[in-house]
């Protein structure tokens, strides 16, 4: 069915979703990274950016929180820009693991067959693929420049978070060396793990993540800066990955209940992509058992249901002013 929704319908639905989700209780801050345990659990923001560049922001949308695993999305995009989507498929893969984000078991199960850049193992492998090889500073610049281009403004490293993660990332060290053992790290192991840890420690706002989502929804054209950040064909590839594994072992439940491909991070952020229409991001620190923000999930689900949207609805939806 062809139908239209108005910009003001979207603003109203986002405002209502924010108001209704604000009171939602439950979940707990991540505590395996000490910095995250101390963030105010009441912080909550909801941002939406349409593919025409219009943005709506409610709540704590300028607060810089740890991007964490949402950073896996831009770096997967960068790996696709540098090595093509097929190059990423060949070296990392595009399969859901159905297991937690930090699973070692997933690597053992698929040691001859890579999984996806959207879980820790594949994300560390993606960092190892970023050019130029062996040059930490230049690789880091490539990663952060790409995030800046996608968001239209720069992220900022949270030093305390970076130190906190570096001091406690024993599981990720094990993952990195196991990947090396299976020939799935394409640069120095320590450099690759450090880049991954650093990118997870970037501070980002929900307003910035909504613009990143909108850039992906808009086939690589950042609607705020009007710059083409990546080849339009990459959009469907990265959105497919988000749809298949963005919530780890809960991805099926998420897509079934929300209708929107999205990616979460243990900092409390969630970024969603509604192809052709908008990017959406929500942030609230308390997480469910799989490491996904309880309030952010509620807010995005509410908005999707209020607007009666879903990527598999079959509807051809256009936004009118």
The residues that touch ligand GLN, with contacts defined as CB under 6 A, are 68-69, 101-102, 120, 165, 172, 200, 265-266, 291
Smallest distance from ligand GLN to CB 2, Å: 38
Q: Looking at beta carbons only, is 56 or 101 nearer to ligand GLN?
A: 101
Smallest distance from ligand GLN to CB 25, Å: 22
Smallest distance from ligand GLN to CB 28, Å: 14
Contact yes or no for 185/18 (Cβ under 8 A): no
| Rounded alpha-carbon distances, angstroms, from residue 48 to 44, 207, 210 | 14, 7, 5
Contact yes or no for 62/74 (Cβ under 8 A): no
Q: Looking at beta carbons only, is 50 or 119 nearer to ligand GLN?
A: 119
Q: Looking at beta carbons only, is 57 or 172 nearer to ligand GLN?
A: 172
Q: Looking at beta carbons only, is 172 or 205 nearer to ligand GLN?
A: 172
Q: Looking at beta carbons only, is 68 or 95 nearer to ligand GLN?
A: 68
Residues 265, 150, 145, 130: what is their CA dihedral angle, to the nearest 10 degrees? 70
Q: Looking at beta carbons only, is 95 or 165 nearer to ligand GLN?
A: 165
Query: What is the residue-wise DSSP string for 274-312?
Result: ETTTEEEEEE-S-B-TTS-BHHHHHHHHHHHHHHT--TT
Smallest distance from ligand GLN to CB 231, Å: 27
Which DSSP category does 219 fall into? T
As a whole number of angstroms, the distance between CA 274 and CA 89 comes to 23
Residue 256 makes CB contacts below 8 A (sequence gap 6+) with none
Q: Which residues pair with 172 in a beta bridge?
A: none
Smallest distance from ligand GLN to CB 36, Å: 9
Smallest distance from ligand GLN to CB 291, Å: 5
- Name the closest residue to ligand GLN (Cβ): 69
Q: Which two tokens stand for residue 234?
A: 């990459």
């Amino acid at each position: 069915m062809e139908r239209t929704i108005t910009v003001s319908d979207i603003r109203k639905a986002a405002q209502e979703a924010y108001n209704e989700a604000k009171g939602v209780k439950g979940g707990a801050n991540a505590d395996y990274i000490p910095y995250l345990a101390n963030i105010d659990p009441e912080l909550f923001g909801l941002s939406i950016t349409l593919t025409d560049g219009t943005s709506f922001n409610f709540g704590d949308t300028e607060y810089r929180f740890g991007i964490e695993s949402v950073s896996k999305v831009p770096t997967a995009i960068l790996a696709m820009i540098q090595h093509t989507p097929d190059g990423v498929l060949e070296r990392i893969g595009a399969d859901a693991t159905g297991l937690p984000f930090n699973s070692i078991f997933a690597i053992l199960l698929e040691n001859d067959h890579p999984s996806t850049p959207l879980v820790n193992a594949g994300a560390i492998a993606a960092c190892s693929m970023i050019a130029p090889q062996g040059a930490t500073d230049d690789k880091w610049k490539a990663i952060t420049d790409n995030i800046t281009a996608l968001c239209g403004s720069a992220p900022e490293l949270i030093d305390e978070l970076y130190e906190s993660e570096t001091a406690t990332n024993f599981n990720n060290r094990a993952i990195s060396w196991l990947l090396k053992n299976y020939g799935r790290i394409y640069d120095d192991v320590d450099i690759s793990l450090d880049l991954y840890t650093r990118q997870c420690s970037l501070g980002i706002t929900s307003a910035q993540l909504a613009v990143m989502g909108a850039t992906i929804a808009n086939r690589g054209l950042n609607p705020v800066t009007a710059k083409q950040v990546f080849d339009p064909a990459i959009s469907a590839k990265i959105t497919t990955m988000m749809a298949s594994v963005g919530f780890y072992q809960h991805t099926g439940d998420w897509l079934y209940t929300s209708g929107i491909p999205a990616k979460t991070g243990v900092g409390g952020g969630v970024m969603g992509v509604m192809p052709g229409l908008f990017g959406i991001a929500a942030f609230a620190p308390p997480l469910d058992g799989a490491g996904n923000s309880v309030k952010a999930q509620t807010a995005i689900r509410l908005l999707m249901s209020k607007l009666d949207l879903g990527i598999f609805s079959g509807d051809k939806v256009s936004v009118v002013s």
